Amino acid sequence: MSTSERAARALKSLHDEEWKTLSGLEEASSGHGTSDLGRLSRMSRLPRERVAFALSQLERRDMVARRGSGYALTKEAVEAMAIRDYVRRDLIFALGAAIAKGKESDVYEVLTEEGTPLALKFYKLGRTSFTRVRKKRFLEGAEMRSWMTANYEAARREYTALKKLEGLSPAFPRAIAHSRSTVLLEELGGVRLSQRPPLVSPRELELAVLESVRIAFLKAHLVNADLSEYNILTTGDSVWLIDWPQAVGTDHPNCMDLLAHDVKTVVNFFRRAYGVELDAGAAVAYASGEAGDSLLL
């Protein structure tokens, strides 16, 4: 069973005082530090011995871990609190099967009370080394204090980017909410473009991708900065651009290089996989708005 599945299971079995203790620990430790029993008892407004008992129960379930003389939340606890948050806000009702388990996140199908499927993305940046995460995710200084901070930050960044993109193109997934190290998203269909599925018109789809890159740049002032065939989903005649936590604003000093890198990655992939010939320089000029609004046909 994965961390996220254990977290979902905890939802049914934790008692009120255990939840209060977890919330108290989150508050007392600002989400991811440690706290001692005294402070925790004040934060959770429970007597010391009740907190001590709740902590012993939580420790047995891997929801808290001892750190020296204090306690810290585990990934399971953070994810359980996030799921509980969505349930309490009436956004989700049940956790379904895993859609994808990757290096940096796990994505699960969840259902609303009406039975609409949504996608819940749990960040797991801690799985890769921090050096790589730091390089790839543009996290700096205090943000890097712990892996949990990085996961919270990635979820918040992805949500913020998707909110800026919302409604600008059907190729951007809708973000519904975020909580802690997770983001709740509209569930998309299709498969990763990296699987090289048959496409109705590879050239048109490539142009649709580039048009969305251009819209993100010109209207939301954002560059994805990690765009590739792995972060594009397709049904064969439509596309979605996913995975935005590392997106940067057009005020970022490297934004033009990052935009050019995204565009060239797309152009090279379509050439390699589908034989589409498109001039990379012209595609970059189009995406940045330098070259008017019609692309190279």
Q: Which residues contribute to the site for ligand ATP (CB under 6 A)? A: 99-100, 102-105, 107, 119, 121, 173, 185-188, 192, 230-231, 242-243
Smallest distance, Mg ion to C-beta of residue 226, A: 7
CB atoms within 10 A of CB 148: 21
Binding at 37: pick from Mg ion, ligand ATP, none (beta carbon under 5-8 Å per type): none
Q: Residue 248 pairs with which residues in a beta bridge? A: 223
Q: Which of residues 79 and 104 has its CB atom nearest to ligand ATP in the complex?
A: 104
Alpha-carbon distance 181 to 60, whole Å?
A: 23
Contact of residue 247 among ligand ATP, Mg ion, none (CB under 5-8 Å per partner type) = none
Binding site for Mg ion (CB under 5 A): 231, 243
With H, G, I as helix, E, B as strand and everything else as coil, classify residue 108: strand
Q: In the bound complex, what is the minimum distance in angstroms from residue 130's beta carbon to ligand ATP?
A: 16
**242 in Cβ contact with 233 (< 8 Å):** yes
Terminal-to-terminal C-alpha distance of the chain = 51
Q: Tell the smallest beta-carbon distance from residue 191 to Mg ion (Å).
A: 13
Out of Mg ion, ligand ATP, none, what residue 182 binds, judged by CB under 5 to 8 A for its kind, is: none
Q: Which of 45, 132 has the CB closer to ligand ATP?
A: 132
* Helix/strand/coil for 238: coil
Helix (H) or strand (E) segment spanning residue 123: strand 117-123
Residue 287's closest CA among 174, 265, 269? 265
Residue 274 site contact among Mg ion, ligand ATP, none (CB < 5 to 8 Å, cut-off depends on kind): none
CB-closest chain residue to ligand ATP:
102
Beta bridge partners of 71: 35, 66
Q: Which is nearer to Mg ion, 46 or 161 (CB)?
A: 161
| Cβ distance to Mg ion smaller for residue 25 or 139 | 139
Token duo for residue 148: 């949990």
Nearest distance from residue 115's CB to Mg ion, in Å?
A: 27
Partner touching 256 among Mg ion, ligand ATP, none, CB below 5 to 8 Å by kind:
none
Q: Binding partner of residue 173 among ligand ATP, Mg ion, none, CB under 5 to 8 Å per kind?
A: ligand ATP
Q: Please, are residues 119 and 110 in contact by the beta-carbon 8 Å criterion?
A: yes
Residue 223 CA to residue 255 CA, distance in Å, equals 7
Q: In angstroms, what CA-CA distances link 296 with 99, 265, 270, 277, 288?
A: 37, 18, 15, 11, 14
Round to whole Å and give the CA distance between 19 and 2: 21
Q: Quick one: what does residue 82 bind among ligand ATP, Mg ion, none, with the CB cut-off 5 to 8 Å set by partner type?
A: none
In angstroms, give the least distance from the CB of 231 to Mg ion: 5
Q: Which is nearer to ligand ATP, 242 or 258 (CB)?
A: 242
Q: Binding partner of residue 107 among Mg ion, ligand ATP, none, CB under 5 to 8 Å per kind?
A: ligand ATP
Please, what is the minimum distance in Å from the beta carbon of residue 121 to Mg ion?
10
- Pick between residue 89 and residue 132 the one whose CB is nearest to ligand ATP: 132
Q: How far is the CB of 134 from Mg ion (least distance, A)?
A: 17
* Shorter beta-carbon distance to Mg ion: residue 25 or 222: 222
Sequence-separated (6 or more) residues with CB below 8 Å from residue 108: 4, 95, 96, 97, 98, 99, 119, 120, 122
Number of C-alpha atoms within 13 angstroms, CB side, residue 276?
A: 22
